[in-house]
Structure 1
Amino acid sequence: MSHAFDLARVQREPIAFLETLYGTAVRRAHPAAVLAAHLPPPPKGRTLVLGAGKASGAMAAALDAAWPSDVPLSGLVITRYDHTPPAYRAQPGRIEVVEAAHPVPDAAGEAAARRTLDLCKGLTADDLVICLISGGGSALLAVPASGLTLDDKRNINGALLRSGATIGEMNCVRKHLSGIKGGRLAAACAPAQVMTLLISDVPGDDPSVIASGPTVADPTTCADALAIIDRYRIEIPPIAREALLRGEWESVKPGDLRLARADTRMLATPREALEEAARVAREAGLAAYVLSDDMEGEAREVGKVHAALARSVKTQATPFRAPCVILSGGETSVTVRNRQGRGGRAVEFLLGCGVALDGLPGVWGLAADTDGIDGTEGNAGAWLAPDTLARARALGQNALAALESNDAYSYFASVDHLVTPGPTFTNVNDFRALLVL
């Protein structure tokens, strides 16, 4: 799609323009564009590549292409099903890519994660471990704490996803119910040098939260995890409650000598992706504002706040003046009320926004996850036009009813407003854009 937009073309093709901004943000965060510049020099010993996340397959392909062909390289990364880049799938390289389930772990993820730990055995101080970590790695690195089963992990993870807990809260619990997260992977690699390359999908870009920090020291405690479990009324097996109460499943803490040779480098962040989209908008002749890259909260409520801001811009020329684009990112939450409803946080945000805008002329929107998958459906998100609610109403769709039943996917599908790029092979979390003309 051409980036040659000026204001006249934006006015003619508002949705194409918003899709271009989304694509721009995604490309800015793609491993092929950002990884090579951060690679360390080859070590005296061997180089082992480990990792997990929705972007880890693309990260492995980018690393393999950039690493000297005459320097040995091997390893294993775990990514979501259908998230291996097609070229690397067709012609596998030096790094094995295994696919597993996300967001609820499966046996393939558990087996691959246990293999990952096995590969850490026998490393020496002359060796280098490059860990490729991105969002989604928490579910893909599925090694239950001693005494828990994979079904236990699945049930707890599913309950967390439905609870409305923030990503930081969910990952705190996950770290303390794991045999590999919360710094444990890096500890298993000692005494080798560990270089972690990160693509951030979390508010604040905290390395200890991304994929539940498998290579990063964790300041949270068993008591913190138990408090979150109780706050959201998550059911856990008695053995887990007892272990957390006694502090038996504590994660690796700051200052642990096993992490003395561990370092991290951030390859891509939500802020950088949003700023690149803002740059393209300004080149088209619009003002562009990045509200925040780390918004949290209930997706529908965040949508209402964005709608109020767009309405103020359109009707009162404050705090911004039209024409403009309002951008934001982060990771909102959805408290599931109807488990039969379909849709993730991007479409729930957009439907909440659409209900609040109620067809306000001159405002368009797009909300999508930068990994190309919104929740468990095949779409990344959806788009919204001033006539969307009227078109859906003519088809018998009720926006408020769809919102209350967590069925935003079906609502936007009915008017053919879904955004479906497929896997993007990166993940810097939510992308939201409102265009006010």
Structure 2
Amino acid sequence: MNTPPRDLLAKMFAAAVNAAQPEHCIPPFLPEPPRGRTVVIGAGKASAAMAQALERHWPGELTGLVVTRYGYAVPCERIEIVEAAHPVPDDAGLAAAGRLLDTVRGLTPDDLVICLISGGGSALLPLPGRGVSLEDKQAINRALLTSGATIAEMNCVRRHLSAIKGGRLAAACHPARVVNLLISDVPGDNPMDIASGPTVADPTTCADALEIVRRYGIELPDGARRLLESGAGETIKPGDQRLERVTTHLVATPQMALEAAAAVAAEAGLPALILGDSIEGEARDVGKVMAGIALQIKNRSQPVAPPCVLLSGGETTVTVRGQGRGGRNVEFLLSLAVALNGAPGIHAVAGDTDGVDGQEEIAGAFIAPDTLSRAWAAGIRPRDRLDDNDGHGFFEALGDALITGPTLTNVNDFRAILLT
């Protein structure tokens, strides 16, 4: 291996992101143009880039509206791009969600709706259900983000407090044909969890959402509690006739990103072990487990001998109890570094493929065998920073943050541990 470890890790991260770029993954899934109108709708961090790719390759007329995160817009000629806030929703997202519903009303069986959905759409489509305000949604979102709930649990609650998620947007398209093109950012690639499933059926219930709220001790405003307890927040269920003409394609997934990174490792002469594309749990716990695996390889050559690369994806969680800013990738890395305790020959990168770890404009970070020693030399106590959920502050102070800017895609978290 001639490439410096950090450079090789950065190259693998870039390959993972590139594999999920809309320009590569949208064209193979485009349907035939319809007899009637083609209307494009969408939401998510990658949705604007998806819309641009669609425009470049679509042979006929089309119109549409897509909402993406602030800073993630790209130029489109026929599809309007609107920006809104993520991860906590704002008025711009509220207005855009209402406009999306208006865009698909009054369509005919001859019309086609192409729906471009990617991660981040939950916050970008914050149209509340009856009796729930935007302020209520914002407070619930903040509570969910710091509760330790999984993404599937968070999205279950969001779907049942929404007037657009949980299949409601697809029902509004009826009787037009709907083709969903999804970029997955969720463990397991379940379409109902990607942006809380605005255009797919949802088998979960209001009772499920109430149980999740109870489990994590989340305070619900009165209107939100009434919506769930009355059952008025029920979503569109499997078998609903309004969804009979809906087709769904996963155009990019975390597994595809991991395979692209594995190819980079192979080019460098290194075997790559993909440990899983849907790993969940507390980020610090996953860091300890990965450290144990890495040390077994380093010390005992089991289950493989070094040099090698360990790859994984998924979405961990951070239960924020300290004064830090959270960030699941930096928390994972700080926990990994503490558990490795400076073991020689082990380097790692972890980052969110959308370029934003938690609520920070930072994708993630790098660690090396000297990470802890450099921190101590600078008067920084790694374990204290971990206890304070201050991974971002820790890696910024060392100059080891991974900053990409908006990547215009999102296939969840990427982790690579390099053993030399």
TM-score by length of 1: 0.95
Contact 1:31–1:426 under 8 Å retained in 2: yes
Letter in 1 for 2:9: L
Shift of 1:252: 0.2
Partner of 1:3: none
Which of residues 50, 67, 84 in structure 1 aligns to 2:73? 84
Partner of 1:388: 371
Shift of 1:240: 2.1
Partner of 2:129: 145
For 2:166 and 2:6, locate their aligned partners in 1 and report how far apart those are by CA, in whole Å: 41
Shift of 1:242: 2.5
Q: Deviation string for 1:33-70 (max 9, x for gaps)? A: 110110001101100000000100100110011112xx
3-state SS in 2 of match to 1:205:
coil
1:240 aligns with 2:229: no
Contact 2:320–2:326 under 8 Å retained in 1: no
Contact 1:125–1:191 under 8 Å retained in 2: yes
Partner of 1:59: 50
For 1:181 and 1:336, locate their aligned partners in 2 and report how far apart those are by CA, in whole Å: 27
1:134 aligns with 2:125: no
Partner of 1:211: 195
1:355 aligns with 2:321: no
Partner of 1:27: 18
For 2:164 and 2:227, locate their aligned partners in 1 and report how far apart those are by CA, in whole Å: 17
3-state SS in 1 of match to 2:146:
helix
Which of residues 377, 385, 388 in structure 2 aligns to 1:405? 388
Shift of 1:239: 2.6
Partner of 1:341: 324
Partner of 1:182: 166
3-state SS in 1 of match to 2:192:
coil
For 2:162 and 2:35, locate their aligned partners in 1 and report how far apart those are by CA, in whole Å: 32
3-state SS in 2 of match to 1:142:
coil
Contact 2:120–2:195 under 8 Å retained in 1: yes
1:300 aligns with 2:284: yes
Shift of 1:343: 3.9
Shift of 1:342: 2.2
Letter in 2 for 1:49: V
1:259 aligns with 2:248: no
Letter in 2 for 1:221: T
Letter in 1 for 2:68: T
For 1:243 and 1:154, locate their aligned partners in 2 and report how far apart those are by CA, in whole Å: 16
Partner of 2:9: 18
For 2:310 and 2:254, locate their aligned partners in 1 and report how far apart those are by CA, in whole Å: 15
Which of residues 314, 317, 341 in structure 1 aligns to 2:301? 317
Letter in 2 for 1:81: Y
- Mapping for residues 107-122 of structure 1, pairs under 5 Å: 107-122=91-106
The share of aligned pairs that are identical, in percent, is 60
For 1:51 and 1:239, locate their aligned partners in 2 and report how far apart those are by CA, in whole Å: 28
Moved over 4 A (4+): none
**Count of residues in Structure 1 that have an aligned counterpart in Structure 2:** 420
Which of residues 252, 260, 264 in structure 2 aligns to 1:276? 260
3-state SS in 2 of match to 1:208:
helix
Q: Deviation string for 1:307-343 (max 9, x for gaps)? A: 11111111111112100000000000000112x4124
Shift of 1:284: 1.1
Letter in 2 for 1:359: G
1:199 aligns with 2:183: yes
Shift of 1:269: 0.5
Partner of 2:407: 424
For 1:418 and 1:364, locate their aligned partners in 2 and report how far apart those are by CA, in whole Å: 14
For 1:235 and 1:50, locate their aligned partners in 2 and report how far apart those are by CA, in whole Å: 33
For 1:143 and 1:213, locate their aligned partners in 2 and report how far apart those are by CA, in whole Å: 14
For 2:225 and 2:361, locate their aligned partners in 1 and report how far apart those are by CA, in whole Å: 36
Contact 2:46–2:118 under 8 Å retained in 1: yes
For 1:177 and 1:252, locate their aligned partners in 2 and report how far apart those are by CA, in whole Å: 13
Partner of 2:314: 330
Q: Comparing 170-179 with 341-350, which one deviates more in the overlay?
A: 341-350
3-state SS in 2 of match to 1:364:
strand
Which of residues 34, 55, 58 in structure 2 aligns to 1:43? 34
For 1:283 and 1:270, locate their aligned partners in 2 and report how far apart those are by CA, in whole Å: 20
For 1:65 and 1:402, locate their aligned partners in 2 and report how far apart those are by CA, in whole Å: 47
Contact 2:13–2:261 under 8 Å retained in 1: yes
Letter in 2 for 1:358: N
